[in-house]
Amino acid sequence: MKKLIILAMAAMLTACAGGAPASQSSASNSGGGLITVGFAQVGAESGWRTANTDSFKSYFTEANGFNLIFSDAQQDQNKQIAAVRDFITQGVDYIDIAPVTTTGWETVLQEAKDAGIPVIISDRKADVSDDLYVTYIGGNFEQEGSDAIKWLEGYLAENNRSDDELNIVHLQGTIGADAQIGRTKALDTAVSGPHADKWSIIAQQTGEFTEARGQEVMEAILKNNTKVDVVYSENDDMTYGAITALKNAGIDHKDVIIISFDGNKKAIQMIIDADIDCVAECNPLLGPQVGDIIKKIEAGDTLPKVTYSIESVYDIKNAEAHLPDAFGS
């Protein structure tokens, strides 16, 4: 008898590990009829992040049938891994991770799989084998970067500046984050390839996706470099900091081509005010989309391994029209 029960339990675990369909996973619901979701968030480093957190918190409510357990890792991957382990111990129904960095996830994702808890990766990818998570949803960061480069090429052409020699300051996001890797790759590819003779990266440093670090790093860079033609800043918050640093150094930031990523309302307004030239969009409003994914898993549907957000590029030509729809403040 005992043996039979153990066998039955093992069978249930195997079923769950394969991405449990509705009935099985709700049978283990821990929140009294509600679906319990553990969300291992990166931190609170940027306007994008705040909008992303708000999107999850406002979607995963009891009224919508969910019990959300939210964890803020303060940009520390070890804390994030500990949070995931905690979710496993608590026996949540689903885990969503926005990985701080792409590497280092195999062990804990295997633990989640062994516990039969489906894992959804949102925002940034994790570099793991396909069987360790159900699906990824978020930005295509290399695409965002090449869209920004294409914008710069078009802007230079329109202003008869294609032959200009450009000194580029490159402010990178958190090193090893999918968003940093993709956006950096696009610029590195342009500078080492088609634009090798005219474009140079005079400084390439991380500002960790925060305004304070963006300013600090830009101030240090400006001590050694006064001719800056382009700032390629991997998020809006670092862009705000870089503009402050330029102003403090007595450089008119309007003479510098400023390229940013994300598309907070504030940054879109800054395009209208001619403070920023271009923003490659990244959509943080992923809560309802992760909710749809969970509903599909519950219904036993097959999901694509990757779903990229649809993203645009904003500049002076379309910022005004987009402003009312921009996220955040």
Q: How far apart are CA 77 and CA 56, in angstroms?
A: 20
Residue 73 or 88 with smaller CB distance to ligand GYE: 73
Could you list the residues that contact ligand GYE (CB under 6 A)?
45-46, 48-49, 123-124, 139, 179, 209, 235, 261-262, 282
Beta carbon of residue 69, minimum distance to ligand GYE (angstroms, whole number): 21
How many Å apart are CA 181 and CA 161, to the nearest integer? 28
Asked if 133 and 119 touch (Cβ cutoff 8 Å), the reply is: yes
- In DSSP terms, 172 is beta-bridged to 206
CB of 68 to ligand GYE, least distance (A): 20
Residue closer to ligand GYE by CB (options 46, 77) is: 46
Residue-wise DSSP of 7-72: HHHHHHHHHHHTT--HHHHHHT-SBTTBEEEEEEE--S-SHHHHHHHHHHHHHS-GGGTEEEEEEE
Question: Taking the complex as a whole, how short is the minimal distance between the CB of residue 213 and ligand GYE, in angstroms?
Answer: 11
- Mention every residue, 6+ apart, whose C-beta is less than 8 A from residue 6: none
Q: Which amino acid is at 152?
A: L
Q: Are 191 and 168 in contact (CB under 8 A)?
A: yes
* CB-nearer residue toward ligand GYE: 38 or 182: 182
Nearest approach in angstroms of CB 306 to ligand GYE is 15
Q: By the 8 A CB rule, do 72 and 40 touch?
A: no
Q: What is the Cα–Cα distance from 27 to 19, expressed in whole angstroms?
A: 14
Comparing CB distances to ligand GYE, the nearer of 277 and 281 is 281
- Taking the least distance from each CB to ligand GYE, the nearer of 93 and 141 is 141
Nearer to ligand GYE, 230 or 282 (CB): 282
Q: Which is nearer to ligand GYE, 168 or 179 (CB)?
A: 179
Output the smallest distance, CB 145 to ligand GYE, in A.
11
Both structure tokens of 33: 């009829």
The answer for 233, left when phi > 0, alpha when psi is -120 to 50, beta otherwise, is beta
Nearer Cβ to ligand GYE, position 98 or 156?
Answer: 98
Q: How far is the CB of 137 from ligand GYE (least distance, A)?
A: 12
User: Between residues 57 and 296, which has the closer beta carbon with respect to ligand GYE?
Assistant: 57
Burial label, 33 (beta-carbon count in 10 A; 0-12, 13-18, 19+): exposed
Least separation in angstroms between residue 169's CB and ligand GYE is: 18
Rounded to 5 degrees, what are φ and ψ at 116? 75, 25
Least separation in angstroms between residue 173's CB and ligand GYE is 6
> What does the radius of gyration of the chain's CA atoms come to, in whole angstroms?
22
Minimum distance from residue 263 beta carbon to ligand GYE (Å) = 9
Q: Map residue 110 onto helix, strand or coil.
A: helix
